[in-house]
Amino acid sequence: MKEHAQWDSTWAFIFAMIGAAVGLGNIWRFSYVVYSNGGGSFFIPYFIAIAIMGIPFLILEYGVGFSFKTAFTEIFKKIKPQFEFIAWILIFLISIVLIYYMVIISWDIFYLASSFTFSWGTDPAAYFIHNVGGTRNLSDFINFFIPISAGVIITWFILWFISHRSIDKGIGMASKILIPSVFVIMAIIIVFAVNLPGAGIGINALIHPDWNALLDINIWLVAFSQIIFSLGMGEAMAITYASYLKEDAKLTDNVLIVIASNSSFEICTAFGVFSILGYMSATSGTPMVQLVSEGTGLIFVVFPKIFNVMGLVGHILAPLFFLAVMFAGISSSFAFFEPIICSISSKVDAERKRLVTILAIIGCAGSLILTSGISSYLVEIIDAFVNQFGILFLVAVQCIIFGWYWGAEKIIPVLNRQSTVKVGFLWKTIIKYILPVFILVIWLIGIISLLFSSTSFELTVDAIILVLVLALSAVFYKKESI
């Protein structure tokens, strides 16, 4: 029986968990979500979603991981042997997320290098297409962006270098450095941003409330979806990290620290982002509605345009911004990788360094495929399918397995033993009844949207992913543990 790893301190765990939560989505997704879903009024469903879903489910994950102190797949196996197959499906879905996530980080590294000379020129949109993301023309698949491929190799090397070490000397130490660095860099950017001419225009656009939006059920569903993806709920990260905790851990207290840090970061970042957009609107005369974007459009197209017109300040902020995105992405990649390492380690007899090396090589090969001439299109397809179809459904499944089949009440004494904040009947009710219903509703809406908006090529890619994940899950499920 392999000895299970352990954090050297609670703060190593907290920084690692904050790193898992604070990722690319906080920087490029949250501000757009707020703006396009009621502005200031969106914060009402947002905080309600944190209260009745984010906090309770993260407490559940911490409690499960802390109680079993073993790999994610082994936990499901111990609850019921047949459930191990479900766990492997999630592990391989996370593997796919990690593969395309590393590609996005490599895009950012490319832009970090470009930010010193502003080599994106006067047309950042064309620069992104021709140098990074490619087109939607399938014939361009045979073309590859060599600098992005090199960036992928670099990002996987960084992930390997840190992850092949022990938990406390690898992820723990790296998180203690990266997370404070991300917060400090973003704080500098935000202070600069809110003092720019026209910043008030952007902030007002962000927080201007549309109270009628609260009557739209879709706004509430978006709020719950944001919390799920922002905190990485149900993705085996929290369960795996919590399994490394020492016996004196204050579980529910730690949950509140992580969620408060994550929400503070994404809310403050949204103010910074919209302050910069407001500056662009004021100086160029471009209406805010034409500037606001999410994902790659915001980070790799809109922001370079803004940095172009900011003069000296732009030359200072641009490298800092892309450096913060890189640090946030790398810290989240640890959290994706660790459940994969831990679960596969429970099945094969291999030392951590050798296993991490093999997995990094395989993952890097997968990421390199996504640096083709349709890179951005492929990432978009895979991201939508894996998150909307796979992971979201498995979050609801975990609620049912842990809440009903295993029994969430079993871990209430464990959760309350050292913690200042206690849980009880209300928490159990949320886990068993409210969460599964909310998440399944969100999942059904996502699936309907996915099926009716996808092309034949997109559905083909989705089918390939599904078959691959199910096949690999079956192989590992049937393999006897060593």
d(CA 71, CA 4): 9
Q: Which residues contact 403 (CB under 8 A, 6 or more apart)?
A: 60, 428, 431, 432, 435, 436
- 250: helix, coil or strand? coil
Alpha-carbon torsion angle 155, 365, 119, 377, nearest 10: -120
d(CA 416, CA 253): 10
d(CA 39, CA 29): 14
- 311: helix, coil or strand? coil
- The full DSSP string for 162-229 is HHTS-TIIIIIHHHHHHHHHHHHHHHHHHHHHHTSTTHHHHHHHHH---GGGGG-HHHHHHHHHHHHH
Per the model's pLDDT, the better-predicted residue between 27 and 119 turns out to be 119
- Mean pLDDT, to the nearest integer, of 213-228? 85
pLDDT, tens digit (0-9, with 9 covering 90-100), for 160-182 = 998 887 776 778 788 888 889 98
- Name the band, by pLDDT with cuts 50, 70 and 90, for residue 3: low
Place of tokens 């197209």: 301
pLDDT, tens digit (0-9, with 9 covering 90-100), for 49-84 = 999 889 999 999 999 999 998 889 999 999 999 999
Tally of CA atoms within 13 A in the half-sphere of 151 that contains its CB: 26
Beta strand residue intervals within 62-105, DSSP E: none
For residue 372, what are the β-bridge partners? 144
Q: Are 3 and 166 in contact (CB under 8 A)?
A: no
> Phi/psi zone of residue 234: left (φ > 0), alpha (ψ -120 to 50 degrees), beta?
left
Mean pLDDT of the chain: 89
d(CA 260, CA 279): 29
Six-digit token string for 454: 């996808």
Per the model's pLDDT, the better-predicted residue between 465 and 409 turns out to be 465
Nearest C-alpha neighbor of 164 from the set 367, 361, 365, 369: 361
Q: Which residues contact 70 (CB under 8 A, 6 or more apart)?
A: 4, 78, 243, 346
Res. 101: pLDDT tops 90: yes
pLDDT, tens digit (0-9, with 9 covering 90-100), for 387-442 = 878 888 888 889 899 989 998 888 899 899 888 889 888 999 999 888 888 888 88
Res. 445: pLDDT tops 90: no
Query: pLDDT value at position 144?
Result: 92
Query: pLDDT value at position 2?
Result: 56
Res. 294: pLDDT tops 80: no
% of the chain at pLDDT higher than 90: 45
Nearest C-alpha neighbor of 259 from the set 53, 21, 418, 435: 21
Query: pLDDT value at position 179?
Result: 87
- Name the band, by pLDDT with cuts 50, 70 and 90, for residue 449: confident
Query: pLDDT value at position 1?
Result: 45
pLDDT, tens digit (0-9, with 9 covering 90-100), for 323-367 = 998 998 898 898 899 999 999 998 887 788 899 999 999 999 999
Given CA atoms 43, 384, 296, 171 in this order, what sign does their dihedral have?
Answer: positive
pLDDT, tens digit (0-9, with 9 covering 90-100), for 45-57 = 999 999 988 999 9
Res. 467: pLDDT tops 70: yes
Nearest C-alpha neighbor of 346 from the set 248, 179, 481: 481
Q: Which amino acid is at 266?
A: E
